[in-house]
Structure 1
Amino acid sequence: MAGPEGTTRGDPTSRGVDRTSALPLWAQIYDDLRRRLDAGAFTAAFPGELSLVREYGVSRHTVREALRKLRSEGLVTAERGRSPMPVQPAEIEQPLGTLYSLFASVEAAGHTQHSVVMALDIRADGVVTTRLGLEESTPLLYLARLRLADSEPLAIDRVWLPASIAAPLLEADFANTALYHELDTRCGTRLSRGHERLRAVIPTPAEQELLDMPEGTAAFAIDRLAYSVDRAVEWRQTLVRGDRFGVTSGFSARSGHLIVTGGRDTNNENGPSALLLS
């Protein structure tokens, strides 16, 4: 159920202060405000000092101490004459129609890139091998990762490659490295082109929990087929948080935008040329 600030995760309402506690009042307020921020509260605005004084029944000095601690940790910002504001995670942008790297873009935006490896093995998948133009029994290397930016979930990434090419990747540490860097250095294979289908979706409850997303928040689902010269070598499915990720596109008066509508099959080589790397 949504709280008073319109959020849905956890309990964003105030729990007040305990004047019998040995913990200072400012520290209790700091803990409570941090809990509420983590629960998704204050998405529209952060309460000002006087509002917090009334809400917690404490002095303005006490509230200022709690806010000072929040500011020192980069959780809220404050300017003279303005109410504090919660610091929102920066959106990570990717361009359409070019080769680009999620790994590099995360770090270029000032974030720390990290992944949690959920699976790395050799398996069979008849549907994927068909997409790659291979026999159904062809062994595939499968890698599934939860992609993080500054320890915050950003995307669920699943990729399949022919084991005949990618088997050396079983020895790679994908917690801190880019897939395509390892594919190049360990396997001698570089991707040269590809195409994607990108659509907005509502994640399943399990995906929502894994990505730590507020209920009802949309995500981008990206299906991708990538080639090394003329050979299809990667099929990838990525689910990325819509509140942390955006796509950009250029246009001109002469060419305008290239917009693909409907359910175009991503096996169609005339599809979009954008490719999300690593």
Structure 2
Amino acid sequence: MTGHLATGRNRVNVRRLDRAGGDPLWKQLQEDLVRRLRSGEFDDAFPGELALVEEYGVSRHTVRQALGQLRTDGLIVAERGRQPRVATAPEIRQPMGALYSLFSSVEESGLPQHSVVRALDLRADGVVAARLDLEGSIPLLYLERLRYAGDEPLALDRVWLPAALAEPLLAADFTHTSLYNELAERTGINLDHGREDIRAMNPSPAERALLHCPPDAAVFSIIRQGTAQNRPVEWRHTIVRGDRFALSAEFSANTGYRLTPATTALAQAW
């Protein structure tokens, strides 16, 4: 329903909210904006705070509460001093419940993928060596790639492997190939188990610039340890743009979430 609100000489249509009780005004406003957003009404542009104040006849504080919830839900992007805009859907959606392949996920999305190799060498790293159950001075193979989906960066990928196993990878071309494919072909090692810890984080200024990450977007920080026949073979840290990548999971009343089925192999991933 709409009414009219006098503003000097002008009268503007006002969308009515229930002021007699029920949900708070900001909640009603948020729900109505979601309805309008999903109907495609804001495909061209999302209204600013002052426009919503006039349109709904509410305070700016109420509008900001509603917009804050829309931002939290990932439906809009609102930067300080700029008009809100509808958030774009992530281009790459990765189901959880499998030890997945970023390489394959990008190509299945229809986007061409390639990598810029920033480092491929042997080095010592006591902290990572300990995570691989190795002595701190043992050399490791280090591979760092900036991974692209289409014309834009998607992820910054850093991986360490024991040099004694992985040294043949120094001859590989990682601009358009999977690490695990190269590992299997050049060393005969197939990873069969892995663990990942995933969390949201704000990238450093250098990482944000490297990934062309928007100023309002967070990233996924993904730490993976991969093993072969119960031996730690890989420690990896990948930073993935949160505005281009999403994780999804399936669940049921009988089985709950299926996140790490023991029968799923890690081969061909990443």
TM-score range, shorter chain: 0.5 to 0.7
Distance 1:45 1:184 in 2: 50
- CA-CA distance at 1:177 after TM superposition: 1.1
1:97 and 2:89 matched = no
Distance 1:102 1:43 in 2: 30
User: Partner amino acid for 1:96?
Assistant: M
User: Partner amino acid for 2:163?
Assistant: A
Give the TM-score of the pair, scaled to structure 2.
0.64
Distance 1:43 1:165 in 2: 53
Distance 1:201 1:142 in 2: 23
Distance 2:43 2:165 in 1: 46
User: Partner amino acid for 2:98?
Assistant: T
SS at match of 1:277: coil
- Aligned alpha-carbon RMSD (Å): 2.9
Distance 1:121 1:103 in 2: 22
Q: What are the equivalent positions in structure 2 for 1:155-170 lying under 5 Å apart?
A: 155-170=155-170
Change over 3 Å in CA distance of 1:276–1:96 after alignment to 2 = farther
Distance 2:219 2:99 in 1: 21
Is the contact made by 1:97 and 1:274 (CA closer than 8 Å) also made in structure 2? no
Distance 1:222 1:274 in 2: 15
Equivalence for 1:189: 189
Equivalence for 2:239: 239
Q: What are the equivalent positions in structure 2 for 1:99-248 lying under 5 Å apart?
A: 99-248=99-248
User: Partner amino acid for 1:133?
Assistant: D
Distance 1:226 1:140 in 2: 15
- CA-CA distance at 1:276 after TM superposition: 9.4
Distance 1:155 1:253 in 2: 34
Q: What are the equivalent positions in structure 2 for 1:61-80 lying under 5 Å apart?
A: none
User: Partner amino acid for 1:235?
Assistant: W
Q: What are the equivalent positions in structure 2 for 1:5-20 lying under 5 Å apart?
A: none
Q: Give 1 or 2: higher strand fraction.
A: 2
1:277 and 2:260 matched = no
- CA-CA distance at 1:277 after TM superposition: 2.4
Q: Which deviations, in whole Å up to 9, do the C-alpha atoms of 1:28-61 show, x marking residues without a partner?
A: xxxxxxxxxxxxxx99739xxxxxxxxxxxxxxx
Equivalence for 2:32: none
User: Partner amino acid for 1:228?
Assistant: A
Is the contact made by 1:195 and 1:274 (CA closer than 8 Å) also made in structure 2? no
Q: Which deviations, in whole Å up to 9, do the C-alpha atoms of 1:126-160 show, x marking residues without a partner?
A: 00011011111111000000000112100000000
Distance 1:190 1:275 in 2: 6
Equivalence for 2:252: 252
1:45 and 2:45 matched = yes
- CA-CA distance at 1:229 after TM superposition: 1.6
Q: Which deviations, in whole Å up to 9, do the C-alpha atoms of 1:221-240 show, x marking residues without a partner?
A: 00110011211100000000
- CA-CA distance at 1:207 after TM superposition: 0.5
User: Partner amino acid for 1:164?
Assistant: A
Change over 3 Å in CA distance of 1:104–1:136 after alignment to 2 = same
- CA-CA distance at 1:89 after TM superposition: 7.5
- Runs of 4+ in structure 1 deviating by more than 3 angstroms, as ranges, are 42-46, 273-276
User: Partner amino acid for 1:245?
Assistant: F
Distance 2:268 2:222 in 1: 9
Q: Which deviations, in whole Å up to 9, do the C-alpha atoms of 1:6-48 show, x marking residues without a partner?
A: xxxxxxxxxxxxxxxxxxxxxxxxxxxxxxxxxxxx99739xx
User: Partner amino acid for 2:269?
Assistant: L
Is the contact made by 2:191 and 2:267 (CA closer than 8 Å) also made in structure 1? no
Q: What are the equivalent positions in structure 2 for 1:18-33 lying under 5 Å apart?
A: none
Gaps of 5+ in 1: 1-41, 47-85, 260-269
Number of matched pairs? 188
Give the TM-score of the pair, scaled to structure 1.
0.62
Q: Which deviations, in whole Å up to 9, do the C-alpha atoms of 1:157-201 show, x marking residues without a partner?
A: 000000011100000111111111100101111111101000000
Percentage of identical aligned residues: 55
